[in-house]
Amino acid sequence: MRTALVIGLGLHLIASGAPARAQRIDPAPALALDHVGIQAADLVRSARFYGDVLGLKEASTPFPIGAARWFALGGGRMLHIVANVTVGAPHNRWDHFALACADLDAMIARLDARHIPWADMDGHRSAQRRPDNVRQIFVRDPDGYVIEINDAKA
């Protein structure tokens, strides 16, 4: 009878959602994006794309000349491009990083003037509006990385 009482009490605690043992869960330390790192088969070509086409400002890098190029993304965040001649992997639009700009139409005009293809998520040549009301387009860099460019407010 005592065993039945103990089992019954245990089943009651489980059914009521009461924890079997109190566990202390430590909160995770706060994280923030620091940088995005990608590889490039031709570092100079990629640097031209990110600097000349997208207008990112190049930053100094602690690596030897020809090993990497860094570009400022704003807010202390960086894009690290590392030289690597390996064959690129296929990338779809779900594998991307996003850059926000103040004037998406001006960026589209800039891309068009340089004959840089761009599209919406479905591959159509039009800016689309996300559910959060942000307009977006997608471009590919010279190594095939997908970049979302949007008009999100920082």
Question: Which residue's structure tokens are 């959060």?
Answer: 132
Give the per-residue pLDDT at 88.
Answer: 65
Question: Is residue 99 a contact partner of residue 111, using CB atoms and an 8 Å limit?
Answer: no
Cα 15 to Cα 54: distance, rounded to the nearest angstrom:
58
| Two tokens, residue 129 | 């509006």
Question: How much is the pLDDT for 109?
Answer: 94
CB 118 within 8 A of CB 125: yes
Q: Which amino acid is located at 133 in the chain?
A: N
Q: Could you read off the pLDDT tens digit of each residue along the chain, which spans 154 residues?
A: 444 444 444 444 444 554 556 677 888 778 788 899 999 999 999 999 999 999 999 999 888 888 999 999 999 999 999 998 775 667 777 788 999 999 999 999 999 999 999 999 889 999 999 988 999 999 999 998 999 999 998 5
- What pLDDT, on the 0 to 100 scale, is given for residue 78? 94
pLDDT of residue 2: 46
Determine whether 54 is exposed, middle or buried from the number of CB atoms within 10 Å of its CB (0-12, 13-18, 19+).
buried
The whole-number pLDDT of residue 8 equals: 45
